[in-house]
Structure 1
Amino acid sequence: MTTTGIWGPGTPPVVRRDDSHYDADVAVIGSGAGGATVAWALAATGARVLVVERGGFLPREAANWSPEAVFGDGRYRNAETWHTTAGTPFTPAAHYYVGGTTKVYGASLPRLRESDFEAAEHPDGTSPAWPFPYADLEPYYAEAERLYRVHGRAGQDPTEPARSGPHPHPPVAHAPRIAELAERLRAQGLHPHPLELGIDLREGGTCVRCGTCDGFPCRVGAKSDAETRALRPALRSPTVRLLTHTYVSRLRTGASGRTVTAVEAHRNGHPVTITAGTVVVSCGAVNSAALLLRSAGGAHPGGLGNGSGLVGRNLMLHHNSMLMAVDPRRDPAVFQKTLAVNDYYHAGPHTPRPLGNLQLMGKVHPAAMATAHPHVPRRLLGELADRSVDWWLISEDLPLPGNRVLLGPDGGITLHWRPVNARAHRRLVAAGARMMRRAGHPLVLTHRMGVEHTGHQCGTTVAGHDPARSVLDPYCRSHEVPNLFVVDGGFFPSSAAVNPTLTIVAQALRAARRAVLRDP
């Protein structure tokens, strides 16, 4: 069957035809931050862009804001089981929906620091330099902030990078308790600053500043996720189409191995072939690496574009901990996710070595706490949550070739991951606890996240100039397969210590404009 019908005038943006073959100019595999943004960047070019997503649309429903449904029942967890190399099964923090994992992320959208693009020494090793400086990405950061409606204010964070202009929207106002906390932190010589957030607080915007942000879908569409901010606008173009419920199993090349000639997939259980002049893989760092490994054969016996042997290697997940600081004398803040502290990010007066970032997270609920503390009575968890201020602590995970994505005997995903730079994270947790006790919170509880927390995955298809030491060039094009791009967190040479989403979006804009469109 042919596919002329999916591009005709008046045809629906979400493909309904069940064909065995689809053809496009650009096939984008994955609709998360990288893939949706590439589609948006290409929407006005006239190129026929087919976005391929293995899941469907996450429904807007009352359960979106139910802690019991989201955390207790795992209502929106739809990823397959992954395994560690020790054989331990786990459910990753991956979500297969239109918009990818951004459908449930916390909408924290900071830029990397300028120093993150340079080599840096850490307690347990060296963070490598990137193949381009921060200045090259800065214009795309600015565009990404406009596209994803980022709120923030420059001038208060001592580590903030240079900017070509202000944030497109003012910072989100602090609740009274958080404003008081900010003053107590300043009294310690720290520099708390507004957390950069992608939410719809424009005049007439839909955000209600509820207590369900991190880990929850947004029932009112106020979160700047990839579907809302990039893909839906792209689908208004007659040359962008979306194919849902389509799992891509393999990329096939011609005899020379220099060109992807077909994308093999299954849609609703039926085999499908997709052809395109350019193929953009944006499945997330783990799944993109797994797809390239599954595509081994002929000229690429170790995996597609894997002449360096680095596909799947150097997996980084960040060191992540949750810190609850409880003061029974103070009322809670419903929307507390408005503050961050970077005084421990670089070596300086507060730390001899870089430790990482502290940012307030969405309100912790007893149902979420119960997964980490299953033996604590739910009533007690509720009383703690009612009086807590909740932080998310991030330290840099360093690249290690042995930390990698592997394929199991059945083709499933296996991760070998040993956290690197753990000493820095332990010191960050201790510093955060000390900071909050000094701020008048006598009870501090912490919980360290493990391999199952894969929301910040990166490093598995590293970018660089030397094909022997990298998988992609600085614009995310495969060194070995010129019509193949991998645009997600996999290209990161280092993980830095802040949320990666805005950097993925900025690089997606850069890759689409410079490499796909050949813009200067």
Structure 2
Amino acid sequence: ILILERGEPLPATPETRDTRAIFVNGHYRPKEMWREAGGAAFNPGNYYYVGGNSKFYGAVLIRYRKEDFSAMEHFGGVSPAWPFSYEEFEPWYSKAEQLFRVRGTLGEDPTEPFHSIPYAFKPVPDEAPIARARAELKGLGLHPASLPLGVDIDAWLKDGSTGWDAFPNTGQGKVDAQTGPLAAALADPNIRLETGAHVDYLEASPDGRSIAAIHYTQKGAQKTLSPKLVILSAGAVNSAVILLRSPSSDGKGLANSSDQVGRNFMNHNSSAMLAIDPRRRNDAVYQKTLMLNDYYLSDGNGGKPLGNVQLLGKIDGNMLRANVKTVPKFALDFMAGHAVDWYLMCEDLPDPESRIMVDGKDIVMQWRRSNMQSLEGLTKVMRENFRACGYPIVLSRPFDKRTPSHQCGTVRMGDDPGSSPLDPFCRAYDHQNLFVVDGGFLPTSAAVNPALSIAAQALRVAEHIRKTEHAA
């Protein structure tokens, strides 16, 4: 088994805990530019290192709720059902939680679905300002709950007193795709990793029914591989791009007889919200231990769903400066030091016209946002809640396309090959030896972080491959 990785290992350098280097100077941002459809170029927030975007993720490893696997009505339309139930998927969630050593607890969140195996580790503890925020929300009759996290907080803090959300993981503090499953896989002598290997396109067999070769560039040299099985896991955008750039008899790219590759692009509708009390300082270091799902399945009054609320990692003046350049630094420092920082996340619905395309060497994003009424409703109700908790100033700012807020849906799975490129085990309907296993397979975005769902499906697909390919 050979793993081709576009990036190189992330080195430990002084920039890894430097908020100015990361958030103001963009030290880790990629050099590439994408384009908006009919619009300007922009620098995406996708990272290319061993471990991918998970090297910088917030390490939130939360399950989709049981209801997310069924069709659900939203303000912007219907979120479609998955091709299998939560009950069928549940054992794989448990396996993924064990693999990523998730810290959490059950019984706090009324939307929490059934767990066949409890969390093996206790949740990351609240710092004093966050324990106070938890108590304030409880005082309103809400149900704040501990975030399930792939973080060894003691190991993380040994390398520096910062949060982990959006910071690169160069040690063992976060369990990410590299420090968790990849490290476990590479213990097998039959599995090998090659870095700096940029996959350019796939080549189909003469009859078009399978993938005959992978063409990639490594250190300026053009290389080719002809494996028995091909598993594409380049992320929702780049997996679609690789398929669209791959030659095909119909000119539409590979795995694309449905004409759905690149379509149904989803990226959570989300905002940052700062609850500020100038009279009380927030001296939390990492902060990100709390979530609220009281508005996940309805608006709190029996109406349509709004979304998930969770803490951001603790911000500082440099992080604010990256987005607010006209305010003096001392004012930003004061604001950050007296704020509790939240992340509001709502479901983006699949739309065939929301899509990733290629134009020569360019990646083109046509993101048609949907269901924005949910984000507006969640913003309104949480502003009211935080003011009721005693925060006189509540500010919010939506995230834009530069932030990869859980990109998904571009090579979705489903029961119908006419509307989905992949079957429910992520095998391409068009090519018997091709699987696509990353955020692209997700038929819905739900309104929670997708990392655990992607990991669980990867384990499910791997077991399926072992059974079917060995039997063959």
Q: TM-score range by the shorter chain?
A: over 0.9
Aligned counterpart in structure 2 of residue 514 of structure 1, from 461, 464, 471: 464
Aligned residue number for residue 145 of structure 2: 193
Q: Which runs of 5+ in 2 are unaligned?
A: none
In 1, Cα distance between the equivalents of 2:466 and 2:430? 16
Give the counterpart letter for 2:138 in structure 1: R
Once the two structures are superposed, what CA deviation does each residue of 1:171-217 show, in whole Å capped at 9, x if it has no partner? 1111111111111111111000001110124xx74555832311111
The answer to whether 1:368 aligns with 2:319 is yes
Residue 351 of structure 1 deviates from its aligned partner by: 5.5
Report how far residue 379 of structure 1 moved.
Answer: 1.4
Secondary structure of the structure 2 residue equivalent to 1:505: helix
Task: Name the counterpart of 2:285.
Answer: 334
Which secondary structure state, in structure 2, belongs to the residue aligned with residue 454 of structure 1?
coil
Partner residue, 2:211: 260
- Corresponding residue for residue 223 of structure 2: 272
Distance 1:84 1:516, change over 3 A: farther
1:179 equivalent in structure 2: 131
Q: Deviations over 1:130-154 (max 9, x none)?
A: 0011111111111111111111111
Q: Once the two structures are superposed, what CA deviation does each residue of 1:345-376 show, in whole Å capped at 9, x if it has no partner?
A: 01264461100000011011222212221111
Q: For residue 225 of structure 1, what is the aligned residue in structure 2?
A: 176
Within-5 A mapping of 1:63-78: 63-78=15-30
What TM-score comes out, normalization by structure 2 length?
A: 0.96
**What amino acid maps onto 2:132 in structure 1?**
E
Give the secondary-structure state (helix, strand or coil) at the position aligned to 1:513: helix
Q: Distance in 2 between matches of 1:245 and 1:370?
A: 33
Structure 1 Cα separation of the partners of residues 362 and 267 of structure 2: 19
User: Amino acid of the residue matched to residue 463 of structure 1?
Assistant: M
Letter in 2 for 1:324: L
Pick which of 192-201 and 329-338 moved more.
Answer: 329-338
Task: Report how far residue 330 of structure 1 moved.
Answer: 2.0
Matched, 1:353 2:353: no
Matched AA of 2:395: L
Could you say which residue in structure 1 is the equivalent of 2:264? Answer: 314
1:84 aligns with 2:84: no
**Cα distance in structure 2, aligned partners of 1:400 and 1:242:** 36
Is 1:493 aligned with 2:429? no
2:163 and 2:287 in contact (8 A); partners too: no
Q: Cα distance, 1:426 vs. partner?
A: 0.8
- The alpha-carbon deviation at position 445 of structure 1 amounts to 1.1
**Contact kept in structure 2, 1:94 and 1:455, CA below 8 Å:** no
1:301 CA drift (Å): 2.6
Distance 1:336 1:56 in 2: 30
CA distance in 1, matches of 2:390, 2:379: 17
Secondary structure of residue in 2 paired with 1:394:
strand
Give the TM-score, by structure 1 length: 0.88
State the 4+ residue runs in structure 1 displaced beyond 4 angstroms.
204-209
Contact 1:175 1:336 in 2 (8 A): yes
Whether the aligned pair in 2 keeps the contact of 1:101 and 1:455 (CA below 8 Å) is: no
Amino acid in structure 2 at the alignment position of 1:237: D
For the pair 1:291 / 2:248, whether they are aligned, the reply is: no
**Would you say 1:164 and 2:116 are equivalent positions?**
yes
Q: Which residue in the other structure is 2:412 paired with? A: 462
Counterpart Cα distance in 1 of 2:442 and 2:234: 14
Residue 444, structure 1, aligned to residue 394, structure 2: yes
* Residue of structure 2 in register with 1:411 after alignment: 361
Going from structure 1 to structure 2, the CA distance change for 1:459 and 1:516 (only over 3 Å counts) comes to: farther
Q: Which residue of 2 aligns with 1:389?
A: 340
Alpha-carbon contact 2:155-2:172 (below 8 Å) kept: no
Q: How far, CA to CA, are the matches of 1:102 and 1:351 in structure 2?
A: 36
In 2 relative to 1, CA 461–516 (structure 1 residues): closer, same or farther, beyond 3 Å? farther
Amino acid at match of 1:406: M
Mapped partners of 1:348, 1:355: distance in 2: 6
Q: When the two structures are aligned, how many residues end up with a matched partner?
A: 468
Corresponding residue of 2:86: 134
One of 417, 433, 443 as aligned partner of 1:483: 433
The answer (yes or no) to whether the contact 1:265–1:273 under 8 Å persists in 2 is yes
Offset, 1:335: 2.0
What is the CA–CA distance in structure 2 between the aligned matches of 1:70 and 1:146, rounded to whole Å? 31
Q: Is the 8 A contact 2:30 2:44 kept in 1?
A: no
User: Within 1, Cα distance between the matches of 2:411 and 2:63?
Assistant: 21
Q: In the aligned structure 2, how far is the partner of 1:157 from the partner of 1:302?
A: 45
| Whole-angstrom distance in 2 between the partners of 1:116 and 1:65 | 36
Aligned partners of 1:135, 1:382: CA distance in 2, in Å? Answer: 47
- Superposition deviation, residue 459 in structure 1: 0.5
Q: Which residue of 1 aligns with 2:196?
A: 245
Describe the SS at the equivalent of 1:515: helix
* 1:426 is aligned to 2:371: no
Contact 1:344–1:350 (8 Å) recurs in 2: no
| 1:154 equivalenced with 2:106 (yes/no) | yes
Shift of 1:329: 2.1
2 CA distance for matches of 1:206 and 1:286? 30
How far has the Cα of 1:401 moved from its partner?
0.6
SS in 2 for 1:199: coil
SS in 2 for 1:151: coil
CA distance in 1 between counterparts of 2:328 and 2:351 reads 40
Are 1:109 and 2:61 matched, yes or no? yes
Q: CA RMSD in A?
A: 1.5
What are the ranges of 5 or more consecutive residues in structure 1 without an aligned counterpart?
1-48
Q: Which AA in structure 2 matches 1:66?
A: D
Equivalent-residue separation in structure 2 for 1:57 and 1:248 (angstroms): 17
